Amino acid sequence: MRVGVPSEIKPGEHRVGLTPTAVREYVAHGHQVLVQQGAGLGAGYADEAYVKAGASIAPDADAVFAGAEMIVKVKEPQKIEWERLTQRHILFTYLHLAPDPAQTEGLLASGCAAIAYETVTDAKGGLPLLAPMSEVAGRIAVFSAAETLLKHNGGMGLLLCGVPGVPPARVAVLGGGVVGSNAARMAAGLGAEVVVLERSIPRMRELDDLYQGRILTRYSTLDAVEEEILKADVVIGAVLTAGAAAPKLVRREHLSRMKPGSVLVDVSIDQGGCFETSHPTTHAEPTYTVDGVVHYCVANMPGAAPRTSSEALGNATLPFGLALADKGLDALEDNVHLARGLNVLGGKLTHPAVAQALVKDFVDPFGVWGGSKL
């Protein structure tokens, strides 16, 4: 198969869909890889490294999309990109369609097969292609919160870790999944006081056993969330419903009662955000303030560490990408977990949570959601 790797064009995005190491694996499987000139520079990969791995270098994105059957990216396609897609393309990338009807309509109109990293599953019910970026985002969220708490960045002027005789910041983490557990780990490691709000009792037991009380856990109810966000200096939103829009856990009316200069970090922003007042921001302009509370809502937090992120993402996506390149859409017949990554096929929505969020019809072409095949 001809596999294309275009440069990422979303503002502040420097990751790349395939590293040279991954390209070598595709080439070893007999595939042709076409990489856009300069696509890997932001992550530290020169064109020469791709050529050495066996790729060809294309002068621009038009050449990549025209020459490839399968497009491997990182972030969701922008308008100019989805307009390049056709029925012959398989798109393999993050999509986050639930809060993005414009992109959804663009992909439906293209007729392509679009497989979303964030809805590929595993045998344990996890999301293996979302996990590595969730790990990065959870850790970056704490660094970003600590920086934002400083006075010159609009925060209350609090040092996250405190000093002897002065207490540290209190960090409330909403959600104890991959993002939340990594955020909690990082915040506790820096010396903050941390509480994780979670609805899975087994997950809370795991955190309690792992951290021996260093991280507090609390069952997430409306009362608990309200109490903890009012006590917190930092709130990290880390909730996820696979494929669906994130639930709004912090409402506008809460902000005026929170500490002035406190910080909200919305890691769920790709799925619409879990704070009512969230809207996407960029690394160039990462924050804004509502009712005295600073919001950090960068939609591609892992893009700040493109080398680490590209390698971690590549490690996770490689087996699935190779299966698609080897077998095309027949790979979805063989692997129910990869098939659940399919969000769009032939102008139809093929993931139930996405369809529900966008109030559209849903089809189950591979019979992986309990429905009949097309």
> Strands of 263-266's sheet, edge to edge?
215-219, 193-198, 170-174, 234-237, 263-266, 293-296, 287-290
56 labelled ligand-binding: no
360 labelled ligand-binding: no
The catalytic residue among 89, 270, 295, 364 is 270
- Residue linked to tokens 């302009």: 285
In angstroms, the CA 120 to CA 106 distance is 21
Q: How many H helices and E strands in the chain? A: 14, 15
Q: How far is CA 3 from CA 42, 67, 328, in A?
A: 20, 8, 11
267 labelled ligand-binding: yes
75 labelled ligand-binding: yes
In angstroms, the CA 9 to CA 6 distance is 9
Indicate if 122 belongs to the active site: no
To which H or E segment does residue 200 belong? none
- Residue linked to tokens 């919305």: 266
| Exposure letters 70-99 (e unless 16+ CB within 10 A, then b) | bbbbbbbbeeebbebbeeebbbbbbbbbbb
200 labelled ligand-binding: no
268 labelled ligand-binding: yes
299 labelled ligand-binding: yes
Cα four-point dihedral sign 277, 144, 146, 288: negative
269 labelled ligand-binding: yes
343 labelled ligand-binding: no
240 labelled ligand-binding: yes
9 labelled ligand-binding: no
Residue 218 — left, alpha, or beta (φ > 0 → left; ψ -120 to 50 → alpha)? beta
195 labelled ligand-binding: no
300 labelled ligand-binding: yes
Q: If you compute the radius of gyration of the chain from its CA atoms, what whole number of angstroms results?
A: 21
232 labelled ligand-binding: no
Indicate if 295 belongs to the active site: no
The catalytic residue among 96, 295, 337, 351 is 96
Q: Is 158 exposed, middle or buried (0-12, 13-18, 19+ CB in 10 A)?
A: buried
Chain centroid, CA 299 distance in Å: 8
142 labelled ligand-binding: no
287 CB-near residues (< 8 Å, 6+ apart):
148, 153, 154, 281, 294, 295, 296, 297
Binding residues for NAD(+) are: 134, 203, 220, 239-240, 267-270, 298-301
Active site members: 96, 270
Binding residues for substrate are: 15, 75
Binding residues are: 15, 75, 134, 203, 220, 239-240, 267-270, 298-301
